[in-house]
């Protein structure tokens, strides 16, 4: 097998140290030498490792993505111009029964020398910082949702059925009622009168829902949950302001993305943070969809397809796309809603949502590549593309109802 990198290094990373195998290919097939050394994961040792690799004239460094332990090695080694690639552990799996840290390092060096591994996408520093911010906002938003759910469970324990009437118990009306309960007000009629806006039309239902047994214990716990919810909200607002500053170089890309139906500003920011908004990293939209985990997998043997389930992708991007696809599927008069209904009727809502996510990624790739705003093909796209199929389907529906159908083309009147 052809050797592409005669001087290659494989790095097997752990929390405390890393095993580094430097593979040097001689002129003959039997003159290959491999030297394995151990380096601590402290910054000073990693800098010494960098000097060692430069002295060995290594042209490629291959390391496996192990938790977050790869980050110090990758960031410090790439600074000096070394060609460092990060590979997915699934793609660099060693032979079962012969797996040790030393053999893993040698295996990575072998794979790299022969060009048998693909580099994982590692974004540049500005995108890494933006990614940290958007991921932190996502995590804290989920934590706030959990606190709201705990508050709702507490109200159920107190026989307060506020969530059965109000869709958001932490909205303006809900907060006023909860604060009054905490302050000692227990008259359901007085509590219901605190409703604002459209909630005032539900005062009779609120009066029934706010009749319960709200004890001192419930007051203490409700105040605790509201305090935690407010703290999470303050953190989210602070992160959003910081993200807005970090988005300055990517405002044009964000404006393009939010023109896609279902894409909110938050979804667009997550998309940019996870992909880097540079579509040259993904040569085709199919590769972007595969990386994001919205493409069917391939598992075929002896002509038999065993499974076509989607492979794991970027979970943060996948989560944001799921929100966008669900929003678009509920809209009216768009291509995405038509695509969702068309597939959901045959293959179910889950696969239809994944198909819409795939279509959104394809649209985003083309838009960021060309700089053009989204142009919706329209809800009648599939009807226009296959009119004969639409006609046959309509006739079949009428015939199933017992009608005899005769159709004639419309003639233009002058």
Rounded-to-integer distance, Cα 298 and Cα 378, Å: 32
Q: Which of 132, 138, 198, 136 is nearest to 168 (CA)?
A: 198
Residue 10 phi, psi (nearest 5): -110, 135
Mean pLDDT of 26-48: 84
Residue 306 has pLDDT above 80, yes or no: no
Rounded-to-integer distance, Cα 325 and Cα 354, Å: 8
335-347 and 349-370 helices, crossing angle to 10°: 150
Q: Which of these ranges, 157-166, 231-240, 295-304, has the smallest mean pLDDT?
A: 295-304
Please give the structure tokens belonging to residue 54.
């430069």
H/E run at residue 317: helix 315-329
Percent of the chain with pLDDT over 70: 93
Percent of the chain with pLDDT over 90: 58
Count of CB atoms within 10 A of residue 259's CB? 15
Mean pLDDT of the chain: 89
Per-residue pLDDT band for 207 (boundaries 50, 70, 90) equals very high
Q: Which of 273, 276, 278 is nearest to 240 (CA)?
A: 273
> Which 8-state DSSP code applies to residue 165?
T
* Predicted TM-score of the model (pTM): 0.85
Burial of residue 44 (number of CB atoms within 10 Å: 0-12, 13-18, 19+): exposed
Count of CB atoms within 10 A of residue 363's CB? 23
Per-residue pLDDT, 373: 93
Please, which residues have CB within 8 angstroms of residue 59's CB and are 6 or more apart in sequence? 5, 6, 7, 8, 83
Mean pLDDT of 177-185: 94
Q: Which of 409, 376, 407 is nearest to 393 (CA)?
A: 407
Per-residue pLDDT band for 29 (boundaries 50, 70, 90) equals low
Structure confidence by residue, pLDDT tens digits, 251-279: 999 999 999 999 999 999 999 999 999 99
Residue 414 has pLDDT above 60, yes or no: no
Please give the structure tokens belonging to residue 108.
């990575």
- 85 three-state secondary structure: strand
Per-residue pLDDT band for 96 (boundaries 50, 70, 90) equals low
Strand 84-87 with 7-13, pairing: unpaired
């Amino acid at each position: 097998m052809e050797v592409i990198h005669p001087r290659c290094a494989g790095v097997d990373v752990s929390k405390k140290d890393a095993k580094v195998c430097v593979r040097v290919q001689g002129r003959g097939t039997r003159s290959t030498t491999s030297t394995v050394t151990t380096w601590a994961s402290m910054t000073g040792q990693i800098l010494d490792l960098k000097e060692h690799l430069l002295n060995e004239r290594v042209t490629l460094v291959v390391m496996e993505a192990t938790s977050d332990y790869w980050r110090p090695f990758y960031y410090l080694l790439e600074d000096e111009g070394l060609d460092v690639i990060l590979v997915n552990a699934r793609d660099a799996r060693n032979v079962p029964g012969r797996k040790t840290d030393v053999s893993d390092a040698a295996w990575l060096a072998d794979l790299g020398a022969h060009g048998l591994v693909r580099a994982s996408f590692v974004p540049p520093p500005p995108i890494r910082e933006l990614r940290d911010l958007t991921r932190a906002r996502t995590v804290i938003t989920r934590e706030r949702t959990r606190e709201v759910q705990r508050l709702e469970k507490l109200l159920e324990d107190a026989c307060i059925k506020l969530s059965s009437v109000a869709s958001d118990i932490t909205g303006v009306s809900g907060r006023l009622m909860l604060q009054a309960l905490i302050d000692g007000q227990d008259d359901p009629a007085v509590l219901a009168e605190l409703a604002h806006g459209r909630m005032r039309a539900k005062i009779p239902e609120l009066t029934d829902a706010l009749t319960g047994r709200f004890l001192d214990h419930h007051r203490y716990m409700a105040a605790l949950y509201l305090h935690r919810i407010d703290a999470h909200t303050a953190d989210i607002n602070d992160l959003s302001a910081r993200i807005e500053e970090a988005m300055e170089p990517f405002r044009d890309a964000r404006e393009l993305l939010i023109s896609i139906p279902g894409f909110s500003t938050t979804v667009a920011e997550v998309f940019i943070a996870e992909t880097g908004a540079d579509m040259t990293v993904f040569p085709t939209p199919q590769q972007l969809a595969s990386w994001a985990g919205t493409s069917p997998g391939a598992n075929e043997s002896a002509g038999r397809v065993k499974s076509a389930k989607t492979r794991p992708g970027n979970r943060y991007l996948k989560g944001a796309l799921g929100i966008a696809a669900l929003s678009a599927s509920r809209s009216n008069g768009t291509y995405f809603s038509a695509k969702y209904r068309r597939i959901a009727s045959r293959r179910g809502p889950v696969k239809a949502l994944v198909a819409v996510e795939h279509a959104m990624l394809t649209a985003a790739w083309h838009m960021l590549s060309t700089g053009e705003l989204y142009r919706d093909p329209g809800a009648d796209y599939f009807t226009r593309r296959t009119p004969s199929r639409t006609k046959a389907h309509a006739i079949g529906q009428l015939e199933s109802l017992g009608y005899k159908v005769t159709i004639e083309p419309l003639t233009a009147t002058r």
